[in-house]
Chain A
Amino acid sequence: MQKIVIIKYGELSTKKDNLNFFLQTLKQNIQELLKDLEVTVTNDFGRMFVESKEENFLKITERLQKVFGIHEIIVGYRDSSLDLNDICNQVLSLISDKDFSTFKVETKRSNKKFPLTSVEVSKKVGSFILKNKAGLKVDVKNPELLVNLEIRKTEVLYYGERIKGLGGYPVGTLGKGLLMLSGGIDSPVAGFMAIKRGIKLEAIYFESPPHTSIQAKNKVKMLAEKLVDYNGALKLHVINFTKIQEEILKNIPHEYLITIMRRMMYRISAIIASRRNCHILVNGESIGQVASQTLTSMKCINEVVKIPVIRPLACFDKLEIIALAKKIDTYETSILPYEDCCTIFVPDHPVINPSIQKAQEYEKLIPYEELIYEAIKTEEVINIDKLSSIEKYRDIL
């Protein structure tokens, strides 16, 4: 018997014409994710199979649980014998170390030449288990252990542990987006949601040294690393925002600080997005959460760009966002206490309902086009990849 991982697709199966593209993307994503583990990935239209060495299976199933486009991950076995006696014995040996008192056998039979129907196979295997393992009962409604087997043309598949997949679309099938990543709780979660729908992300971060520290930047890198689990390698564009921020602080009425600052960030993000062929901006704004996220603020800020801005968390409550942040393991990092661009220089009374006209007037007080041009020239691109930070220390670790 050979141990394998069987992957079942979710929503993909509804994508008729594009199915092949979706499958190929999923397959490439999986191969990329498991490239250090010597695996073979094959597929048919119903599922994908991963073969590898025994010691890798744990890592494989761990990692696959973070891959979008997968409905279910099954650790199973394949065996080439289609002999009923062999099938019975294989099942028996597979359940020998399990603790259960009721069970049910379910058989699928894609091999229509097999002499027994699936119901007949289930019955035969079930009664064989009853005969050979004491103290068991069959329970078809609510069994403690479900024994699944699948009789195919040249082999039988035996299902073991079944793990729920993440769902969603394979990353990259919907094109690219640029995530506005701060060090907060919301933006990594927004990124996760966008990735779920098949968007491959790059990220942009604004730093203001020396007002913001290297720790704050490292924190953003750590958050980006968490997203790599789902997104694959991710390009982080770091923009030095110090000059713009200082000019705004010196010249613009303080109640409009945040509004103007956000308008600058949007403009810069739109330019980077267009250069990187990203079709949308993604951010963590949630309606009403802070002054810059009221409907009028959003309108006033959004006005400066044409590119669509997707806000996956727009209608989420803070507690819902925190729960998701914990689930994707970004929460603990997000709450590390380092200042970022949006938290330094916060005015006491930011405008809640900014007017577009005023914003446009105030902006004229600074040479913002030039400042933006200068800021973009400072762009630092950091390639964040799984364990890339470890690779950096290969001589030590």
Chain B
Amino acid sequence: MIYLDYSATTPVSYDVIDTINKVTKEYIGNSNSLHSLGVKSSELLKSATDQIASILGVSSNEIVYTSGATESNNLALIGTALANRKKGNHIIVSKLEHPSIYAICNYLESLGFEISYVKNDSEGLIDFDDLKRLVREDTILVSICAVNSEVGIRQPLKMIRQIVKKENFGTLIHSDMTQAIGKVSVNLHDVDLASISAHKIYGPKGIGLLYKNSNVNIVPIMYGSSKGGNLRPGTPPLPLIAAFSKAIRLANVDLEKRERFITLLNEKICEQMKKFPHVVINKTKYSIPHILNISFMDVMPETLIHALEKKEIYVGTNTACSSGELSTSVMAIYNDLERAKHTIRISLSFMTTTDEVNKFLTILTEEYQKLAKLH
């Protein structure tokens, strides 16, 4: 099997599975209980959170656990919107977001909030002038992903922060960092709120977090705790949290070294693809190497994916969360419908081997040429 869909989800590392097992078996107490079993769990919970906070360079009380990035996005956007109604009802998002952001925006529109979509240039970079124009006195939130999930465009969040805060210091900045974490270094201090998920970094599915700067006030979107100030009620899922903490630690080892290796793999694939006249690579200078988006103009992406799957090679269409539709990100960058309809997404990992890439290229070339002849 050759797995090249790491941006959809990653296999859980065996080390992380060990943690889930151990904690599930040995830490049975509810971390909110007063007795010693509860204390034992709450001490581990605290240390797991301290480790995450220390790696992300934030304070432990700025971390809110959620079920994953989609929930984090919900809490960030809806929680900010409802808490700041008196200040304004205007929210800005980019055209390169994960589908969950747009679904939340639709909901917020139904509540009377106004959503603006900031433009990007032909390289995928946020159009700073447009952003400057869009930020108003009643803009409460700007949400821009750190790394786009389909084309891998990395946004300069520091610059975006400078621009937004200069226009309106009270405007909060949220970033979906799901595709950035564990791949490239991020600075959480560039934003006020950030969404992160465990299952993209070799951790379990069902656990994520929202970073919320301690100076920022948002309201919960779920209720269930008598204690005030709890943004996300419910018994903390300790095995998942401990596993998440370990996954973050393991994912942040040798980031740069891993990125250099993945760049080589990425370039190797691009070299081969350039040989085909009807293949276009959707990559700009802002794309991270882990995500490689390619349009095969003369075959249907689904057909190609199933042909590869028969040879036990797994790649993705745009994002797993919106399969079957056209790639909104490729559309937003290149404004070319055909190109956006024909994309597949290859996502690479430090676990990918040169050998795997060689085999993949051989099989892809065969299958693609077979299918292209049919047209």
Contact = CB atoms under 8 A, between A and B. Distances in A.
B is a partner of A: yes
Contacts of B246: 396-397
Contact of A392 (B47, B163, B214, B242): B47
Interface string A378-393: 0000000001011011
Contacts of A54: 185, 256
B150 to A, nearest CB: 24
Interface in B159-209: 159, 162-163, 166, 185, 187
B22 A396 contact: yes
B39 A387 contact: no
Contacts of B245: 397
B23 A387 contact: no
Nearest to A222: B46
B34 interface: yes
B46 A58 contact: no
A41 to B, nearest CB: 20
B43 A389 contact: yes
A214 B50 contact: no
Contacts of A28: none
B50 A396 contact: no
A222 to B, nearest CB: 7
A387 B44 contact: no
Contacts of A320: none
Contacts of A215: 34, 39
Nearest to A391: B47
Contacts of A214: 36, 39
Interface string A52-63: 011100110010
Interface string B276-295: 00000000000000000000
Contact of A99 (B22, B59, B163): B163
A332 interface: yes
Interface string A205-232: 0000000011100100010000000000
Nearest to A337: B227
A288 B214 CA distance: 31
B249 interface: yes
B322 interface: no
B162 A99 contact: yes
A97 interface: yes
Contacts, number: 64
A392 B159 CA distance: 39
Nearest to B128: A99
Q: Which of A53, A55, A62 has the most CB of B within 10 A?
A: A55
Contacts of B29: none
Nearest to A56: B185
Interface string B137-167: 0000000000000000000100100110010
Contacts of A397: 19, 47-48, 51, 242, 245-246, 249
A218 B39 CA distance: 9
Contact of A387 (B42, B50, B128, B156): B50
B226 to A, nearest CB: 13
Contacts of B51: 387, 390, 397
Nearest to A36: B54
Contact of B156 (A58, A97, A390): A97
Interface string A308-352: 000000000000000000000100100000000000000000000
Contacts of A58: 57, 185, 187
B58 to A, nearest CB: 9
B61 interface: yes
A53 B185 CA distance: 12
Nearest to B254: A55
B273 to A, nearest CB: 30
Interface residues of B, number: 33
Interface residues of A, number: 24
Contacts of B163: 99
A389 B159 contact: no
Contacts of B255: 55
B50 A55 contact: no
Interface in A349-397: 387, 389-390, 392-393, 395-397
B256 A393 contact: no
Interface string B229-259: 0000000000000100110010000011000
A396 B242 contact: yes
A301 to B, nearest CB: 33
Contact of B61 (A332, A387, A392): A332
Nearest to A99: B162
A222 B162 CA distance: 35
A396 B23 contact: yes
A99 B166 contact: yes
Contacts of B50: 387, 389-390
B120 to A, nearest CB: 17
Nearest to B245: A397
A54 B260 CA distance: 14
Contact of B44 (A59, A218, A332, A393): A393
A393 B47 contact: yes
Given A55-B185, A97-B159, A396-B23, A390 B256 contact: no
Given A214-B36, A389-B47, A62 B159 contact: no
A389 B43 CA distance: 9
Nearest to B248: A397
B48 A329 contact: no
A62 B54 CA distance: 10
A397 B23 CA distance: 10
Contacts of B19: 396-397
B279 to A, nearest CB: 33
A393 B242 CA distance: 10
Interface in A99-153: 99
Contacts of B159: 97-99
Nearest to A225: B50
B61 A62 contact: no
B59 A329 contact: yes
A329 B162 CA distance: 26
A396 B44 contact: yes
20 contacts: A53-B256, A54-B185, A54-B256, A55-B256, A58-B187, A62-B57, A99-B159, A213-B34, A214-B36, A214-B39, A218-B39, A218-B42, A329-B61, A329-B214, A389-B43, A390-B50, A392-B47, A396-B23, A397-B51, A397-B246
Interface of B: 19, 22-23, 34, 36, 39, 42-44, 46-48, 50-51, 54, 57, 59, 61, 128, 156, 159, 162-163, 166, 185, 187, 214, 242, 245-246, 249, 255-256
Given A222-B46, A329-B61, A397-B245, 4 more contacts: A329-B59, A389-B46, A389-B50, A396-B23
